[in-house]
Structure 1
């Protein structure tokens, strides 16, 4: 492939030269002679299935969402304008190699052909837009990919920990992280000055509405699973590669299923609407790949001090800042101007320099050229795990735990992405806006130094957002706990003769390894309960199998007692309450989720001595007994007087909000239905909750997959809703029941298999 004359994103009027076969689930199997034609067809298919989602992501990336939803999008737009995401994306696109640009140009041609031929057949969402979508441009592929990953790093966590440190002290901050490696410990000399943190808090208080408005854009991940099983343990003698990424569940779903076949490759997988290829999950004829989030510390926040300077503002040290004003169109409100500028550390994103202090940030996705998409083509044509790992050398964001398997029998692991080691003080909270903390002169950790393993003797590899190496470069403070990783290892260790059905069983596992730790604490200290139901509930927990099934009443009792224990811990630590998150930064749900993770670690590690009131046996007895009594009273009020009817599926319900419906009351009918589901935040089948929203599932599996390298046609996959984002179109919810049942639908790959499931075929 070479760059074509379509680099401007102009609309193509000729046929794309591809055949699209839609299977019974609406998934497109695309065939063309050339790679250029197949990428153009991928763009056409993505637009056909997800044009509104692509438009939503593009508008947010460019800071133009308020043009559709008015003030509901204005603060989010202002953040991305101040960040300069559009300009960064343009520059990064220009730095991509010619082959990658040709992919994006071809993809753009397909999107724009679809737009040209469907001007009068746009999805229902556009009835609420003031204008139809504008033509796609190749650099938009970079912009929407960046948008989907900017909040998956440490920006929110550092803002949260900075507030905790300012108000509750270093012991509370350390408690939120738990047992970490010695070289990551917060040394006294690393602590930011109290006045610095007071300034940061002042900015965040003033910016509470801005941060609250970013809630919809925050697509965090910390509960994904992936595993590879060697051929020694499988029925076919070839590897199995499986997993399930977890994010906030929304409609349309973040991932898009598709199959691309041309003379140069034959690949099937899940991509991001608006981006060519399959960056996270897929396989070609020889090798398969899947990822989990590496949880890398990828963002720093700087407290910048300003002084007035002839009607403008310079830094307190005398450094001048080039400010600009960008017009922001707000539907129904007119135009406002957004002040944008950057210090030597990075763009100013929160606060007003007129107040004397504001926050700037630096992110690996804008520090140097982002060449992530340069890995796409080499991945699609890789012939082995070794070639696949070499293919991701250009990868920048996000940092992933990559698993790969090939038909020759190899399984392999590699951390991929841009890792930049900084001062230990930068790992925790906002830091001073001084040259000491600037990234100038820093360089990414060499690709060869990022951890990598292949073909372990035990016959499997597992990643679950956990710490993956005891040594090597510093990655993060914020790894997930070990429960999901350890449970998957328990399930895989005895496996022999495994097949795809066994991988589905792992996907659906709801046994909690955290529950025994929490139950032990309850059994030891819940001895002063006074509610008449409490002792019956304790008996239920004693007899419980620690499985978070939808029909389990004991699972509900456990979840609510655990939630109340978490609330008790975070309140005593001073890391919850209106002054610590509920005002809008981070968004209350995110603050609650982070606090819950910290408190869960403390419960599991019995690290309660740092918690005021829980640092002695009497205090623990009183607190734990009170939590059980409160649970009995709460569930009686919510669910009735019969505990046997308090089933987990009644309270653990999956909402999948449609973002336009959340922003505009007139679009409320676009929300999909709500269903009960199994699992919790600590199980392999993950349905994460936060105390702020009770037992509602706010995170979950946004896809499941199992690649069978002995017979590709035996592979399977599923997403929570369907391949289409068009409400009422027939393929918007047709995978939902399979997803709820933790079943996979067939992933047809060979020509014969595709033909057998084809329902509709057409040329584009």
Structure 2
């Protein structure tokens, strides 16, 4: 059992069995991300308030009511014995790594002290679900219900592509056949987009098993706290990447909380709160799922139904089959175990096969909204040697109608397709360059409404790139002004109110974010919300004329959220506030947040997998491998990432440095 590091500090694990590999992966992760692992464990257990005080109480209440830990335990119990052993070995490694970690790192920032409790074999499942449970459609359904109450049919202006399954902005992935690459073999590339976090939400790793009867050698990315590699990986002869398929796989049901109503199980859990008296949380379950929102005085609540709750399965049966995959067919067989979130999987292998398939459970529903089964088969398509498959959370093919009603706008997908057509034969460097594109193609409807006499010279010279150009600055200023004026419409006043469900759901209720994400749809409507759009845009253009707008990257800075910031607690930042190009609907989807000068959502990884030569592949994350500000690997990948590039994958053991274990 051996651990090596490359020049970026990325762990390369080599073990004689899958369990040995998992044990060492857990140990290395604890060395790199000790405090992050512990806080994610507490999130999964609904115990953050024990460490963070009252600031953690809202999340802990949600976690307890949603039964995150309970489902994780049930899902673990339902796994096959070998996968249970794999998870147990990983947890043993995490415990060992935490035991070797300095007290200062375990105390976390600001000397909070070590997190209470310890890792259990089911903990990785809870950590995984914490990352996913708010990633689905139900928070947006809450906003959609409010908008429908306020606006009636006009609420459909917000139910646009990209806003039904989450906030706007999203991931890219594509695969090209060997006829479109320099090597003659396929290439897979992509970049997932999520909230920026410090440390990063993804961790690079290489996992190698030397058992001659069960060997594998995989480079990829994982959530810290979850063994194996789930979403993006190169296994030597096959490689894959994912995007969110925007599937509608979560439902909320209004339930009667009164005695004799819809509740079938009631229990009370105690949440310990640092510095305060404990708080009791009533956990209510119905036949459709747990009650996650309630109003006891009114006697009603809302039950959340998800595939995870329904099946007591979180898809971890895919972990080992993914590591052992040798072909597209193997990956597809592994994906058959996937549950949620519902993902697009783009896969290619050395035999030249290139496939885009969907993995996960999407319920079928009757007219009353009751679940009647699962969508089967899920959408799938292939590409020829000279073809390409692109997914950017968009409506990729007709079969997607069975997944949901809303997807991301097609701007990113279309732009990637154009770039693949003009960039000639691809290699890994060119594949990464495609993902760095910052050309804005979503602004046409807005610019078309600007009167000719109000168009500045900078706009005529602008090529559409959301960079430091005067044209990008003027467009950004105009858009911000237009969004503000639309939000000020009297008809939208009730939608400017905070979420009635508390701060945790506030991001999904942000009216400026909703208007910005649906702007191209709103601008195509006839007097939306009672507004004269031509007049509104003209007045907005006059308002920004004569200003000296700040260059776009300067007013759009990288702002990763530390856990303490996510809980609205003070934190001394150790990460750079780098100016960033790109925009919500550009390929490099660094999302715009109206009213701020920062971006908190964008590419949390970038990769290009070369099937002809894995060591010619590229990968990168914002910041670096280590969560410790004192480590040389805390932010050493950041410059490459911020410039739209990536670093080379190295798998030659002779070029790596062995670390004592």
Shorter-chain TM band = over 0.9
Structure 2 Cα separation of the partners of residues 423 and 700 of structure 1: 37
Among 548, 552, 562, the alignment partner of 1:648 is 552
Does 1:297 pair with 2:248?
Answer: yes
Distance 1:660 1:598, change over 3 A: closer
| Secondary structure, aligned partner of 2:271 | strand
Distance 1:359 1:555, change over 3 A: same
Per the alignment, residue 175 of structure 1 pairs with: 157
Structure 1 Cα separation of the partners of residues 168 and 129 of structure 2: 15
Among 370, 375, 378, the alignment partner of 1:445 is 375
Per the alignment, residue 300 of structure 2 pairs with: 357
Structure 2 Cα separation of the partners of residues 404 and 595 of structure 1: 33
Per the alignment, residue 705 of structure 1 pairs with: 607
Per the alignment, residue 342 of structure 2 pairs with: 399
Among 470, 475, 482, the alignment partner of 1:565 is 482
CA shift, 1:71, in A, is 1.1
TM-score, normalization: structure 1? 0.81
Among 624, 638, 643, the alignment partner of 2:537 is 624
Larger Rg: 1
- Could you say which structure has the higher helix fraction? 1
| Secondary structure, aligned partner of 1:602 | helix
Does 1:157 pair with 2:157?
Answer: no
CA shift, 1:523, in A, is 4.0
Q: Over aligned residues, Cα RMSD in angstroms?
A: 2.4
Per the alignment, residue 275 of structure 1 pairs with: 226
Structure 2 Cα separation of the partners of residues 279 and 139 of structure 1: 17
CA shift, 1:670, in A, is 4.2
1:125-167 C-alpha deviation (Å, 9 max, x unpaired): 1663343453311100111111100011111111001001111
State whether residues 569 and 599 of structure 1, in contact with CA within 8 Å, keep that contact through their aligned partners in structure 2: no
Structure 2 Cα separation of the partners of residues 137 and 341 of structure 1: 25
Per the alignment, residue 35 of structure 1 pairs with: 18
User: Equivalences for 1:498-517 in 2 at 5 Å?
Assistant: 498-517=426-445
Per the alignment, residue 54 of structure 1 pairs with: 37
Per the alignment, residue 334 of structure 1 pairs with: 277
| Secondary structure, aligned partner of 1:676 | coil
| Secondary structure, aligned partner of 2:197 | coil
Distance 1:468 1:662, change over 3 A: closer
Per the alignment, residue 345 of structure 1 pairs with: 288
State whether residues 204 and 625 of structure 2, in contact with CA within 8 Å, keep that contact through their aligned partners in structure 1: yes
State whether residues 180 and 385 of structure 2, in contact with CA within 8 Å, keep that contact through their aligned partners in structure 1: no
| Secondary structure, aligned partner of 1:443 | strand
| Secondary structure, aligned partner of 1:706 | strand
State whether residues 662 and 668 of structure 1, in contact with CA within 8 Å, keep that contact through their aligned partners in structure 2: no
Per the alignment, residue 724 of structure 1 pairs with: 626
Per the alignment, residue 466 of structure 2 pairs with: 548
CA shift, 1:601, in A, is 3.2
1:659-709 C-alpha deviation (Å, 9 max, x unpaired): 1255475x6224522111000001001110132x43421211000000111
Per the alignment, residue 421 of structure 2 pairs with: 493
CA shift, 1:116, in A, is 2.6
Structure 1 Cα separation of the partners of residues 97 and 644 of structure 2: 34
Among 394, 408, 412, the alignment partner of 1:484 is 412
Structure 1 Cα separation of the partners of residues 87 and 329 of structure 2: 26
Structure 2 Cα separation of the partners of residues 490 and 703 of structure 1: 22
Structure 1 Cα separation of the partners of residues 448 and 127 of structure 2: 46
Per the alignment, residue 191 of structure 1 pairs with: none
Per the alignment, residue 93 of structure 2 pairs with: 110
Per the alignment, residue 460 of structure 1 pairs with: 388
| Secondary structure, aligned partner of 2:74 | helix
Structure 2 Cα separation of the partners of residues 485 and 320 of structure 1: 44
1:88-141 C-alpha deviation (Å, 9 max, x unpaired): 110011011112111101111111111233364634516633434533111001
Structure 2 Cα separation of the partners of residues 422 and 649 of structure 1: 45
CA shift, 1:454, in A, is 1.7
Structure 2 Cα separation of the partners of residues 490 and 409 of structure 1: 22
Per the alignment, residue 532 of structure 1 pairs with: none
Per the alignment, residue 256 of structure 1 pairs with: 203
Structure 1 Cα separation of the partners of residues 138 and 284 of structure 2: 19
Distance 1:744 1:178, change over 3 A: closer
Does 1:739 pair with 2:641?
Answer: yes
CA shift, 1:568, in A, is 3.2
Does 1:599 pair with 2:518?
Answer: yes
Per the alignment, residue 678 of structure 1 pairs with: 581
State whether residues 289 and 309 of structure 2, in contact with CA within 8 Å, keep that contact through their aligned partners in structure 1: no
1:17-68 C-alpha deviation (Å, 9 max, x unpaired): x211111111111112222211111111111111211111111111101111
CA shift, 1:437, in A, is 3.9
State whether residues 279 and 376 of structure 1, in contact with CA within 8 Å, keep that contact through their aligned partners in structure 2: yes
When structure 1 is superposed on structure 2, of 294-303 and 241-250 the one drifting more is: 294-303
When structure 1 is superposed on structure 2, of 153-162 and 360-369 the one drifting more is: 360-369
Distance 1:220 1:275, change over 3 A: farther
Structure 1 Cα separation of the partners of residues 509 and 574 of structure 2: 25
Structure 2 Cα separation of the partners of residues 483 and 360 of structure 1: 35
State whether residues 238 and 326 of structure 2, in contact with CA within 8 Å, keep that contact through their aligned partners in structure 1: yes
CA shift, 1:457, in A, is 6.7
1:707-744 C-alpha deviation (Å, 9 max, x unpaired): 11111100011111001111221211111111111111
Structure 1 Cα separation of the partners of residues 615 and 562 of structure 2: 33
Distance 1:21 1:472, change over 3 A: closer
Structure 1 Cα separation of the partners of residues 357 and 516 of structure 2: 26
Long gaps (5+) in structure 2: none
Among 449, 459, 482, the alignment partner of 1:521 is 449
State whether residues 661 and 671 of structure 1, in contact with CA within 8 Å, keep that contact through their aligned partners in structure 2: no
Structure 1 Cα separation of the partners of residues 648 and 270 of structure 2: 49
Distance 1:590 1:306, change over 3 A: closer
Per the alignment, residue 183 of structure 2 pairs with: 236
Long gaps (5+) in structure 1: 1-17, 185-217, 308-312, 425-435, 528-534, 637-641
Structure 2 Cα separation of the partners of residues 599 and 367 of structure 1: 33
Structure 2 Cα separation of the partners of residues 457 and 470 of structure 1: 23
Matched length: 654
| Secondary structure, aligned partner of 1:361 | strand
Does 1:762 pair with 2:656?
Answer: no
Structure 2 Cα separation of the partners of residues 595 and 743 of structure 1: 31
State whether residues 604 and 621 of structure 2, in contact with CA within 8 Å, keep that contact through their aligned partners in structure 1: yes
CA shift, 1:655, in A, is 0.7
| Secondary structure, aligned partner of 1:79 | helix
State whether residues 371 and 396 of structure 1, in contact with CA within 8 Å, keep that contact through their aligned partners in structure 2: yes
CA shift, 1:300, in A, is 1.1
Structure 1 Cα separation of the partners of residues 400 and 143 of structure 2: 27
Structure 2 Cα separation of the partners of residues 578 and 495 of structure 1: 44
Per the alignment, residue 119 of structure 2 pairs with: 136
